[in-house]
Homo-oligomer: A and B are copies of this chain.
Amino acid sequence: MRIGELSRRTGVSVPTIKYYVREGLLPAGRLTSPNQASYDEGHERRLRLIRALLDVGGLSVAGIREVLAAIDDPEKPVHKVLGTAADRVVPQHEEERGEVPAAREQVSELIRRRGWRVDDRSPAAEALAVALAALDEVGHADFAEHQLDAYAQAAEEVATVDLQYVNLRVGRERLVEAVVVGTVLGDAVFGALRRLAHVDASARLFGEPSAESEGE
């Protein structure tokens, strides 16, 4: 298909598509004449993936480039691709907080306790330490004590169904793509669900006896 058709199908403007090609996110179309290129379903699929990672996942263009390179590298084991995706969606913290070293200890201990086969210096472990340190700084250090294992338990349950879903995919490319989509978009799904569950739990605990949204 021509670039105009690709744009129409995906809702991404022609200049934006060209920008993604220049930035190395999307492979160039096959040249059919000196100033015309042809795109196929692979381009369409990749373009939708880029938009999802960008819009819903909140990844940067550089982050997406890295994740896509990992997907496209046939030598890269699937669990390493997942690591790359996981690292890119973790916020990076440049400044060191005072309580981070103690929080890192907590994280290492949690990883040991759960028997997780993960690197306790990975960006995700570091992001957890930063979040725990922030809780400590606002006077909620006991959050970790009360809730960390319940959170870890829920995270394991979610990760288990994620991996079961991924395991249904046939073929490496689809499988790896499912891992990335699950990591990035699954976060958005879970975050929204957690908020809804909060509002529900809070309405039950603090709300009026008969909430406006109760019943049909």
A residues at B contact (CB < 8 Å): 11, 45, 48-49, 51-52, 55-56, 58, 77-79, 82-83, 86, 89-91, 93, 97-98, 111-112, 114, 116-120, 122, 124-125, 127-128, 130-132, 134-135, 137-140, 143, 146-148, 150-165, 167-168, 177-179, 181-183, 185-207, 211-214, 216
- Give A111 to B216 CA distance when docked, in angstroms: 11
Contacts of A201 in B (CB 8 A): 156, 159-160, 162-163
Known: A119-B213, A135-B185, A146-B161. 18 other contacts (CB 8 A): A49-B138, A51-B134, A82-B199, A82-B202, A83-B199, A89-B195, A116-B197, A117-B204, A118-B196, A135-B181, A143-B165, A143-B182, A147-B161, A154-B157, A154-B190, A155-B193, A163-B205, A186-B194
Contacts of A125 in B (CB 8 A): 192, 196
| Copies of the polypeptide in the assembly | 2
Interchain CB contact under 8 A, A206 and B79 = yes
Interchain CB contact under 8 A, A203 and B56 = no
Query: Contacts A138-B181, A181-B138 given: A128-B196 contact, CB under 8 Å?
Result: yes
Using CB atoms, name the residue of chain B closest to A157: B154
Task: Classify the secondary structure of A's interface with B.
Answer: helix
Interchain CB contact under 8 A, A156 and B199 = no
Using CB atoms, name the residue of chain B closest to A125: B196
Contacts of A89 in B (CB 8 A): 191, 195
Query: Contacts A48-B137, A150-B161 given: A156-B202 contact, CB under 8 Å?
Result: no
Query: Contacts A11-B98, A202-B78 given: A158-B154 contact, CB under 8 Å?
Result: yes
Contacts of A165 in B (CB 8 A): 143, 146-147
